[in-house]
Amino acid sequence: MPRRSGSLVHAAAHAFGAACLLFSLAASATGLVVIAHPESGLVNLSRSQVIQYYTGRAKSAPGGEPVAMIDVEPARARFYQALLGRDVAEIDAYWARLKFSGQTLPPMLVLTDEAALERVARQRNAIAYINEDKVDKRVRVVLKLDQ
């Protein structure tokens, strides 16, 4: 199971995300979609299912395999805003409390959509979110998020 490497990496990711915000908005006029491995048990997910996975409330797919969530840096703020109406600082604070127990782990962070695609294509139980126009055959869209 992948582990977060430390708070420094995380902080750098944040800084990078903030810097790329303008670019992202310009580059991705299209909506975000949640993607999964085409052969996984995850086919169509409801919005609340996605929320449960991304907040750690639900940990496994209907088939019983544990679900690995992936945060994608360029769209992260947008994603949580669209999904929960929260900004990332709040989400970080939420995970900070859970980190004490070590029983519930936060999503793994990747820096680009391409990295996210690659990861989902490789790992059967992984889910991630990317701009809709970046979707290719390696993955399956399980939910479209309204903007």
CA distance 10 to 4: 8
88 is a contact residue toward another protein (CB under 8 A): no
Tell me if 84 contacts another protein by CB under 8 A: yes
Picking from 95, 55, 91, 66, the residue whose alpha carbon sits closest to that of residue 76 is 91
Task: Tell me which stretch binds another protein (CB under 8 A): 6-14, 39-47, 49-57, 128-136.
Answer: 49-57
* Rounded alpha-carbon distances, angstroms, from residue 141 to 50, 106, 108, 135, 137: 12, 22, 19, 8, 10
Write out the binding residues for another protein, residues 20-39 only, by CB under 8 A.
none
CA-closest candidate to residue 88, choices 109, 59, 67: 109
Q: Does residue 135 interact with another protein by CB under 8 A?
A: no
The least CB distance from residue 23 to another protein, in Å, is: 29
Residues interacting with another protein, by CB under 8 A? Answer: 51, 55-57, 84, 86, 94, 97-98, 100-104
